[in-house]
Structure 1
Amino acid sequence: MHTIWKGSISFGLVNIPIKLHSATEDRDIKLRSLHKECHTPIKYEKVCPACEKEIDHHDIVKGYEVTKGKFVVLQEEELKELKEENGDKAVEIVDFIKMEEIDPIFFERTYYVSPNDGGKKAYSLLRKALQESGKVGIAKITMRSKEQLSIVRVYENTLVMETIHYPDEVRGTGDVPNVPEEDEITDKELETATMLIEQLTTDFQPQKYKDLYRERLSQLIESKQTGEKIVTAKEKEPKENVTDLMAALQASIDSSKPNKAKTTKKKATSKKKAQ
């Protein structure tokens, strides 16, 4: 399993060297955008609309838009300095709380935590303590130049770290449009709805839920492959070297000039002799 982060977790005087591994993966089938006429993959280029030319990463700087079209430019050195200030690879658990106190709206991404060299015993200690207490740890971690809030908990005998949103990153429900006020619901309506919920209530078995669209798309792609309905992208034709062509033309013109002058001189000499 690929390691995406190395550092340590500390709670009190206990320090655990750890590695983080992504706990989830995107299983979506990736489709390319092709030119309908020749089936060549579309290329997305970074182009400056004002200068009307393609640019590379060396020509790009970061900027924060203050107002429409007005930016504060941030230099790479300034950003690098901020990264170094927040670059500590230590994760400190600052609080312990009950899992049910956190609403799922705060959850962002999950990582498996494995012990690094010499950290197995301390890893086991934290895991056992969390299991016995029924609590989860609240910690801060800096990843990809961003300080993130996270929780540390146990999942199937493995420690996991789950990044969560800060409170100001979660929008208020008051901003949601057209949410109805409390309507009058009859006892019969509520009883029927509750009965339906009871009938559909079951134990959570994640294996029974499948991405039907992805399965059908995979079957469609496979059937087209089997039926040899495969197109070939058109190869890019080499551009004629205009620079070399112009140079060759100019060289031809230049080489013909002395001959022309020589011919003119000969004609003049012949004319004098004839006189």
Structure 2
Amino acid sequence: MRAIWSGSIAFGLVNVPVKAHGATTDRDVELHQVHAADDRRIRYQRRCEVCGKKVPYERIAKAYDDGDRTVVLTDAEMRALPAESSREIEIVQFVPSDQIDPLMLEHSYHLTPDSRSAQSYVLLQRTLEETELAAVAKFALRQKTRLDALRVRGGMLVLQGLLWADELREVEVPKALADSKVSAQELKISATLVKQYSADFMSGDFEDAYQVQLRALIEKKLAEGDALDTGETFSAAGTGAATAGAGEVVD
């Protein structure tokens, strides 16, 4: 698997060269949009809503609005901001793993040793396992500074992105919950029911039924010959109307 990043884990005088690989993958069936009337591909274009012209990506600037005012940020201004270019996963502290709120977890990456000697990698991995700690680290990826948790999974170091504290929404407990009372007998009955459904979690026992049925539907239509020629369907010149410029799609 191709690494998406290479650098090192650093804390104190310890330096562990590593490579980062995506730990998850999207298995959803990718679907395109087509015009239901003639089965031709729907394509989106970047057009200015004032002049109506198509705008190439390199001519597009970014803007921020606060509801009443809009500030336009040019590419030159964006490039002038200090870019995060560090090649280090900087460990800032070690904390008990259960202190990291699961709501904060984002994307995960497998870290593999990036050197002939994996001794420093194994030393850090074994230390985290035996102390039952996770490392909180700062990490830069694609010019974005991230907060991450470094932990062990299946004998490998895993880097898990964390949301920043101000990205978690606080929720107010409804008064109805605070006022609700349950009896000891109700709790006992509920616990009995929970025990009947209790088991060790095995993620392989579950599947996305919608995706399974969607794939089955696609395979059935292909087997029955209920399909179109991809080259013709997704070609801009697939119909006379498209060639003539009629039916232009505006994003």
Query: How high is the TM-score relative to the length of structure 1?
Result: 0.81
| Structure label with greater radius of gyration | 1
Alignment-derived partner of residue 210 in structure 1: 207
Q: Quote how far apart the aligned CAs of 1:179 are.
A: 6.7
Unaligned runs of 5+ in 1: 241-275
1:236 correspondence with 2:239: yes
- Write the distance in 2 (CA, Å) between the matches of 1:47 and 1:144: 27
- Write the distance in 1 (CA, Å) between the matches of 2:116 and 2:61: 42
1:106-128: per-residue Cα shift (whole Å, max 9, x none)?
A: 10111000111355221111111
Inter-CA distance 179–11: structure 2 relative to 1 (3 Å threshold): farther
- Write the distance in 2 (CA, Å) between the matches of 1:18 and 1:186: 54
Unaligned runs of 5+ in 2: 246-251
Tell me the matched-pair count.
237
Which residue of 95, 102, 105 corresponds with 2:103? 105
Alignment-derived partner of residue 145 in structure 1: 143
Task: Please give the secondary structure, in 2, of the residue aligned with 1:193.
Answer: helix
Alignment-derived partner of residue 63 in structure 1: 63
1:165 correspondence with 2:168: no
Q: Quote how far apart the aligned CAs of 1:155 are.
A: 0.6
1:52-95: per-residue Cα shift (whole Å, max 9, x none)?
A: 22111122011221333x322222233223353x2111111111
- 1:243-254 equivalences in 2 (<5 Å): none
CA contact (8 A) 1:18 1:119 kept: no
CA contact (8 A) 1:83 1:145 kept: no
Alignment-derived partner of residue 121 in structure 2: 123
Inter-CA distance 208–13: structure 2 relative to 1 (3 Å threshold): same
Task: Please give the secondary structure, in 2, of the residue aligned with 1:26.
Answer: coil
Tell me the amino acid that sits aligned with residue 173 of structure 1: V
Query: How high is the TM-score relative to the length of structure 2?
Result: 0.88
Higher helix share: 1
Alignment-derived partner of residue 17 in structure 1: 17
Alignment-derived partner of residue 39 in structure 1: 39
CA contact (8 A) 1:34 1:42 kept: yes
- Write the distance in 1 (CA, Å) between the matches of 2:106 and 2:151: 14
Q: Quote how far apart the aligned CAs of 1:135 are.
A: 0.8
Alignment-derived partner of residue 78 in structure 1: 77
Task: Please give the secondary structure, in 2, of the residue aligned with 1:31.
Answer: coil
Higher-RCO chain (CA-CA 8 Å, sequence separation at least 6): 2
CA contact (8 A) 1:17 1:119 kept: no
Inter-CA distance 109–134: structure 2 relative to 1 (3 Å threshold): same
- Write the distance in 1 (CA, Å) between the matches of 2:218 and 2:175: 41
Identity %: 32
Task: Please give the secondary structure, in 2, of the residue aligned with 1:6.
Answer: strand
- Write the distance in 1 (CA, Å) between the matches of 2:162 and 2:96: 15
Q: Quote how far apart the aligned CAs of 1:188 are.
A: 2.8
Inter-CA distance 179–82: structure 2 relative to 1 (3 Å threshold): farther
Greater mean deviation of Cα atoms: 185-194 or 105-114: 185-194
1:191-212: per-residue Cα shift (whole Å, max 9, x none)?
A: 2211111111111111101111
Task: Please give the secondary structure, in 1, of the residue aligned with 2:177.
Answer: coil
- Write the distance in 2 (CA, Å) between the matches of 1:113 and 1:197: 37
Tell me the amino acid that sits aligned with residue 139 of structure 2: I
